[in-house]
């Protein structure tokens, strides 16, 4: 029993260390597959010995019971909103008030204002006890079970501190895009922006639903008094050392000019950030001065938020176009007069679905206010009613498919209208484009225009037709030269080696994204397992819910899908997963076993995904960051900071086992490994 207990504690320590490096230091200690193995071992041990399971275990993040409602929590100190400033004059007035009140010079900490949801976290002896929303500033809702699902929030600190920390829970752009794509495929209403999605995610009564959203977190406030933390700058440093993710893009400033320079920098980089910001927070650095300045009834006197004005423009709606996706969903898009927003020219704005058009009463000919939702997606904010031309009429979605003229259907509980005609040309073309995409079969040279030409010419009506194409047939297409045709035939042939997870994603099964395809393929192992899988069997796979499981079973139950798979099998496509669960559980094997690789820069002969796939097939490990434990850095063209870091490691330690490989040397190593295998 003592051996089991010791192993559980060791696994918890290893997983916490990996989480700390990933979420705080932005580096991966081990590949995802190894992390998953550690996690599964811990979960299995805790299930076998439930008395040894503790609340601070990484496995406790997901699986809380569905709540009937949220209880109230009274904050130890008010969580008040910040006062806003919008100009240089208002910043100068804020600084002048501060320095007059404290009678001396003051330093300030400027931080990016993350557009999310403020939360409070309380730790007792280093262990997370509870977490709550801001609420009205004095009383919030206790949402501990939901916050535990956010992997960036430590369940146990790196030191036994009793502390309250506050920060921002937010939704990264990648998670927001994924969620809205999934909701669109399911016919559900789309979230307007990442902040709304984050707020809705944290208020789910089922923690399992929150866990699927992919929320993140930044800590920004140390609430509990401490003798060793006297300033905001020290607090940010100490919180990071305790294991909290802290946004590193803060700056200590001493003058109005430095504050303004930071604001100008933040405004310039906000479009490149992987999360939304809506301004800059300016805080007095010294806690003693913060205490002296105190609070008003609504906000602290020692801090303000400089808010970026939402960049908007006016444009005339020229038309509303309809597109049909690979699942048949009909999506309206407003074609507008070109308008410059956030540094880009916008001529299209998403309308999402019929409900949004009706609620905002958007009509062709209207003058509308346009902005980028979260500075990413152009959207129509409102109609300028007073400028509406005479004779405009409300827009109505069609009753029949704009491409094949078949009647459109709306399933119960869905928002989207769908074309259910399996022979719809738009669905066929979109299916070919998706199948050839980088995340699926990665057929280079088969883009939108080529897919359209192949379909219109009659050469490709379904996916298997791709593998019967000849160079002579391709040369009949407009603007297809001999070299391009030869390259495309070679790329199609090379895609036959793609593993089952790529094929499964490429088939375009509704609700099955890239990650889910990998999860299912890894557990099932081969195509025969998919063809015979039941809903119950698929639901037993972690992260696969009932709707997705049913969608997979329904797809493979159709005669068309089974015929498609049979043809692809005959044409020699790989029908097994890259690393089936049974193989993965046996540990790393192969000529590159025990060797860790980092791939950076652009490779000319193969994609980065293909390079990493070949490394894994040879038994090697792929990580995201360079460290002293890295064996090989594969450096393509325009290799950046990772190459610099590797060169520094070698300069500091000439005896390091790390080797920097050019693309040519890497290909030679793979060839040598294949021979030795």
Residue 567: enclosing H or E segment and its boundaries? helix 559-570
Pick the catalytic residue: 12, 113, 427, 595? 113
Give the C-alpha distances (Å, rounded to integers) separating 516 from 150, 383, 520, 539, 665: 19, 40, 6, 12, 34
Sequence-ordered list of residues with C-beta below 8 angstroms from that of 311, at least 6 positions apart, any chain: 341, 342, 371, 372, 375
Within 13 Å and on the Cβ side, how many CA atoms surround 444?
Answer: 11
Q: Phi first, then psi: give them for residue 248, nearest 5 degrees.
A: -80, -5
Q: Does 113 participate in catalysis according to the annotation?
A: yes
Q: With beta carbons less than 8 A apart as the criterion, state whether 569 and 654 touch.
A: no
Q: Rounded CA gap, 447 and 629, in Å?
A: 40
Question: What span, in angstroms and rounded, lies between the C-alpha atoms of 388 and 640?
Answer: 52
HSE value, Cβ hemisphere, 13 Å, CA-based, for 175: 21
Cβ contact 52:45 at 8 Å:
yes
**Burial (CB count within 10 angstroms: exposed 0-12, middle 13-18, buried 19+), residue 653:** exposed
- How far does Cα 536 stand from its chain's mean position? 28
Q: Which tokens is 606 given?
A: 């193969």
Residue 291: CB partners within 8 Å, gap ≥ 6? none
Q: Which residue in 436, 594, 595 sits closest to 506, CA to CA?
A: 436
Distance between CA atoms of residues 234 and 241, nearest Å = 11
User: Judging by DSSP bridges, how do beta strands 344-350 and 418-419 pair with one another?
Assistant: unpaired
Which residues, 6+ apart, have CB-to-CB distance to 132 below 8 Å? 73, 75, 119, 120, 140, 141, 142, 143, 144
**What is the rounded CA–CA span in Å between residue 535 and residue 113?**
44
- Provide the token pair at 52: 């040894």
* Radius of gyration, CA atoms only, the chain: 28
From the list 528, 623, 521, the residue with the least C-alpha distance to 581 is 521
Are 128 and 143 spatial neighbours (Cβ–Cβ below 8 Å)?
no
The span from the CA of 126 to the CA of 124, in Å, is: 5
Of the candidates 139, 209, 136, the residue with the CA atom closest to the CA atom of residue 179 = 209
- CB within 8 A of 391, min separation 6: which ones? 365
CA of residue 42 relative to chain centroid, distance: 26
Nearest to 304 by CA among 95, 525, 46: 95
The pair of structure tokens assigned to 555 is 């797809």
The CB density around residue 387, as the number of other CB atoms within 10 Å, is 12
Catalytic residues: 113
């Amino acid at each position: 029993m003592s051996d089991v207990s010791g192993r559980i504690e060791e696994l918890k320590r290893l997983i916490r260390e990996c989480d700390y490096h990933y979420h705080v230091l932005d580096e991966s200690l081990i590949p995802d597959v190894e992390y998953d193995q550690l996690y599964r071992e811990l979960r299995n041990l805790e299930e076998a010995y439930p008395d040894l399971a503790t609340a601070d275990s990484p496995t406790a993040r997901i699986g809380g019971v569905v709540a009937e409602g949220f209880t109230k929590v009274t904050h130890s100190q008010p969580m008040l909103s910040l006062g806003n400033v919008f100009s240089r004059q208002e910043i100068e007035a804020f600084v002048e008030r501060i320095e007059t009140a404290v009678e001396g010079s003051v330093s300030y900490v400027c931080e990016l204002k993350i557009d999310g949801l403020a939360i409070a976290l309380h730790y007792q002896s280093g262990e997370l006890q509870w977490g709550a929303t801001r609420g009205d500033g004095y009383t919030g809702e206790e949402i501990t079970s939901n916050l535990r699902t956010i992997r960036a929030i430590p369940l146990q600190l790196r030191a036994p501190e009793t502390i309250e920390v506050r920060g921002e829970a937010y939704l990264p752009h990648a998670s927001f895009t994924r969620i809205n794509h999934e909701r669109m495929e399911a016919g559900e209403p789309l979230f307007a922006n990442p902040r709304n999605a984050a707020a809705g995610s944290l208020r789910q009564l089922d923690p399992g639903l929150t866990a699927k959203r992919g929320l993140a977190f930044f800590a920004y406030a140390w609430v509990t008094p401490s003798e060793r933390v006297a300033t905001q700058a020290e607090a940010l440093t100490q919180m990071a050392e305790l294991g909290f993710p802290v946004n590193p893009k803060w700056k200590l400033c001493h003058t109005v000019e430095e504050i303004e320079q930071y604001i100008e920098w933040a405004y310039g980089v906000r479009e490149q950030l992987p999360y939304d910001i809506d301004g800059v927070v300016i805080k007095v650095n010294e806690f003693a001065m913060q205490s002296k300045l105190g609070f008003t009834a609504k906000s602290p006197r020692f801090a303000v938020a400089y808010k970026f004005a939402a960049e908007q423009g006016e444009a005339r709606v020229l038309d509303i176009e309809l597109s049909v996706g690979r699942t048949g969903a009909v999506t309206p898009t407003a074609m507008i007069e070109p308008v410059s927003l956030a540094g880009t020219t916008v001529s299209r704005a998403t309308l999402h679905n019929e409900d949004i058009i009706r609620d905002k009463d958007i009509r062709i000919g209207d003058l509308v206010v346009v902005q980028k939702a979260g500075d990413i997606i152009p959207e129509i904010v409102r109609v300028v009613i007073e400028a509406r031309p005479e004779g405009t009429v409300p827009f109505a979605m069609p009753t029949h498919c704009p491409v094949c003229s078949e009647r459109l259907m709306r399933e119960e509980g869905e928002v989207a209208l769908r074309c259910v005609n399996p022979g719809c040309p738009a669905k066929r073309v979109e299916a070919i484009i998706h199948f050839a995409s980088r995340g699926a079969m990665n057929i280079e040279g088969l883009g939108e225009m080529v897919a359209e030409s192949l379909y219109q010419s009659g050469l490709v009506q379904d996916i298997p037709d791709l593998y019967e194409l000849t160079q002579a047939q391709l040369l009949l297409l407009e603007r297809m030269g001999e070299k391009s045709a030869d390259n495309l035939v070679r790329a199609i042939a090379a895609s036959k080696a793609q593993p089952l997870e790529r094929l499964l994603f490429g088939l375009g099964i509704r609700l099955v994204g890239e990650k889910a395809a990998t999860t299912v393929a890894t557990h099932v192992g081969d195509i025969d397992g998919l063809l015979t899988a039941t809903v119950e069997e698929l639901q037993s796979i972690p992260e696969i819910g009932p709707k997705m499981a049913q969608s997979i079973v329904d797809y493979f139950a159709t005669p068309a899908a089974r015929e498609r798979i049979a043809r692809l099998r005959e044409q020699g496509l790989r029908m097994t997963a890259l690393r089936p669960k049974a193989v993965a559980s046996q540990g790393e094997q192969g000529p590159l076993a025990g060797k860790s690789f980092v791939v950076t820069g652009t490779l000319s002969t193969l994609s980065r995904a293909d390079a990493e796939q070949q490394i894994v097939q040879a038994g090697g490990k792929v990580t995201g960051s360079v460290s002293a434990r890295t064996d090989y850095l594969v450096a393509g063209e325009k290799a950046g900071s990772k190459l610099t870091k590797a060169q520094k490691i070698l300069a500091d330690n000439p005896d390091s086992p790390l080797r920097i490989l050019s693309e040519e040397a890497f290909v030679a190593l793979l060839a040598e490994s294949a021979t030795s295998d």
